[in-house]
Amino acid sequence: MHVTLSQALLITLWAFIIGIDQFNGLFHIHRPLVTGLIIGLILGDLQTGLITGATLELIAMGMVPLAGAQPPNMVIGGIIGVSFAIISKLPPQAAVALAIPFAVAAQGCVTLIFTAFSPLMHKADQWADECNTKAIAWLNYFGLLTHGSFFALITFLPIYFGAAYAQQVVGAIPTWILGGLSVAGGMMPAIGFAMLLKIMLKKEYVAFLIIGFLLMTYFHISILGLAGIGAAIALYDFYANKNKEANNKKAKKEMHSGGI
């Protein structure tokens, strides 16, 4: 598939927007699932965009930054993975395997940018002491512009200038290597979920994990149906806990009133 300049610029604009959203906007439009939708619309293959974006989302769900440990940047990984899947007609799993190296390299560059900006924190403290809000505002805007521009640049170059070469390279790759990439890419969502469960799983929730496994394995329920059941359980748990907290507060208030 040939990528036109207008398509490359639209994807670059999206990269600029979600590059800002990842750390500053936090509307979560930077998630690979949303990126798959947008890039699928831009490149005219919505189905591949959604499937690849959803596959990358399963990986990104488990890649949570903890303290100083920064996982691969799945914002860039999502853009590159979805774009190359559509441009080079790759299966989603193989596109995922190709996206991870870009995600790792991009996070290294982001860390360097943050390191370069760190001395400006002292300047910001000085301006705060001086109540120079205008200078602090411009410093924040400069940070947003720098971060968004980096994401735009690192997206435009491989997608517009490298798309044709990517197709040639993919065409020259032996089938057995592409098969290996597909297997590796298919394993990554499982790794992402394992990382997520390591953080979130509690013994109280193991029963729901087993129920979901049984429904999928033995009753062959669709993923959408399983998601609906999960949403219903989550809503019940949320409102049950909310009512429990309200009753506890009411009981404490009555006890306090009785004691007085």
Cα(223)–Cα(124) distance, integer angstroms: 49
Query: Which of 67, 77, 63 shows the shortest CA–CA distance to 30?
Result: 77
Answer whether residue 42 shows pLDDT above 90: yes
Mean pLDDT for the chain overall: 83
Going by pLDDT thresholds of 50, 70 and 90, the confidence category of residue 181 is: low
What's the pLDDT at 160? 83
Spell out the alpha helix ranges (H) of 88-174. 92-117, 120-129, 133-156, 163-172
Going by pLDDT thresholds of 50, 70 and 90, the confidence category of residue 173 is: low
Answer whether residue 189 shows pLDDT above 70: no
- Span 153-180, average pLDDT: 71
Q: Identify whether the C-beta of residue 43 lies closer than 8 Å to the C-beta of residue 88.
A: no
Lowest mean pLDDT among 121-125, 246-250, 253-257: 253-257
- pLDDT 10s digits, 143-158: 899 989 999 998 998 8
pTM of the model: 0.72
Q: How far is C-alpha 237 from the chain's CA centre? A: 26
Structure tokens that stand for 54 in this block: 């959803």
Largest interatomic CA distance in the chain = 83
Choose the most confident range, by mean pLDDT, from 21-30, 65-74, 179-188: 21-30
What's the pLDDT at 51? 92
- Can you tell me which residue has the tokens 């190709």? 98
Of the chain, the percentage scoring pLDDT greater than 90 comes to 28
Answer whether residue 200 shows pLDDT above 60: yes
DSSP assignment string, 64-104: --BTTB----HHHHHHHHHHHHHHTT--HHHHHHHHHHHHH
Of the chain, the percentage scoring pLDDT greater than 70 comes to 84
Cα(40)–Cα(229) distance, integer angstroms: 29
What's the pLDDT at 258? 60
